Amino acid sequence: MTLDAADLVAVGAVRRRLRSALGHWGVPELADTAELLSSELVTNALLHTGQGAVFDAVLTADLRLRIEVQDSVTRLPGRRRGADAEYATSGRGLLLVEALADSWGVQLRGDGKVTWFELVTA
């Protein structure tokens, strides 16, 4: 799914389409966590790059859900640090991804980066 710059309304569409796909793929138990983390990555890409993003979700043969959000900025995302980070009202998205995803990371590409996470079915 391709998202236009600053189109935060599209984040809701990402969540709806993802939940529908997970139900179709037979792994609806991943929906709540996948929606939350996808919302965080998509919102970060739209707010902090000033450009659009591309969202992709794949369920692998070994039942790993891989979510990727690609943008065209090579600056790496950063986590909020310091004593106030835990109580901040924004900037906690990557903390959530780190806490809830089975794995996650960022891959630089010549035209930007891909921020991804994976969830494994039980």
Contact 22, 32 (CB under 8 A): no
Give the model's pLDDT for residue 91: 63
Q: Read off the pLDDT of each residue in 95-104 and give the average, rounded to a whole number.
A: 93
Could you read off the pLDDT of 73-96 as tens digits, one per residue? 888 776 666 666 566 555 678 888
Give me the sign of the Cα torsion angle 15, 21, 22, 28: positive
Could you read off the pLDDT of 28-83 as tens digits, one per residue? 999 999 999 999 999 988 887 778 899 999 999 999 999 999 998 888 776 666 66
Give me the percent of the chain exceeding a pLDDT of 90: 57
* Residues with Cβ within 8 Å of residue 3, at least 6 apart in sequence: 10, 14, 42, 45, 46, 52, 53, 54, 55
Give the model's pLDDT for residue 85: 59
Give the model's pLDDT for residue 95: 87
